[in-house]
Amino acid sequence: MAEFTTLSKRIEFSASHRYWNNDFSEEENHSIFGKCTSEYGHGHNYVLETTVRGPVDEDTGMIINIYKLKPILKSVLKEFDHKFLNLDTDYFEKLIPTTENFAKILYECINEKLKDSECELLKVRLYETKDLYVDYWK
C-alpha cells in the first residue's frame, strides 16, 4: 500500500454574497435566510484551507513545492476575491452562494488546476467566520 502525507495551505480573501431563491416568495426568503437576503449582499473575510495529499518525493522531501501550490490557489481565488458572488461570477447564477455551495465550487476549480500535478486534492475547508466553516471532499 502506498504511503501518503498531507499538506495544507491557508489563504485569506474577501467576497460578498446574497442568499435568495427565486422559487420562494419574498416572505419565504426572509423567513429562511433572514438578514442574508439584503439585495446589497454582505461580505466576509474568508479563509480557504486547501489540503493535498501524495507521496513525499525522495529527492525534494515534499509532496508539492508550496511555491507551485500557492500560485495555483491564487489563480483560482482571483475569480472570487473582492467579488459579489451572485453577480460577478457565473458559478452562482442559479446556485445560492452558501458556504456549502461555495466550498464545493472552490474544490472543483482547484481540483481542475491540480489535474496534472504530483499530488491530489484531498479537501477544502472554507471558513466564513472564525467559528463557522465547511469541509468539502470527494
13-44 pLDDT tens trace: 999 999 999 999 999 999 999 999 999 999 99
Check residue 3 and give its pLDDT: 79
Check residue 104 and give its pLDDT: 98
**Helices in 34-82 by DSSP H: which ranges?**
66-77
End-to-end C-alpha distance for the chain, whole angstroms: 20
Nearest 5°: phi and psi at 2? -75, 145
**Which residues are registered as beta bridge partners of 136?**
124
DSSP state of 96: -
Q: How confident is the model at residue 93 (pLDDT cuts 50, 70, 90)?
A: very high
Residues annotated as catalytic are 36, 82, 128
Check residue 2 and give its pLDDT: 67
Q: What value, to the nearest 5°, has the Cα angle with vertex 40 and ends 36 and 45?
A: 65
Check residue 1 and give its pLDDT: 55
CA neighbor of 9 nearest in space, from 46, 44, 45, 48: 48
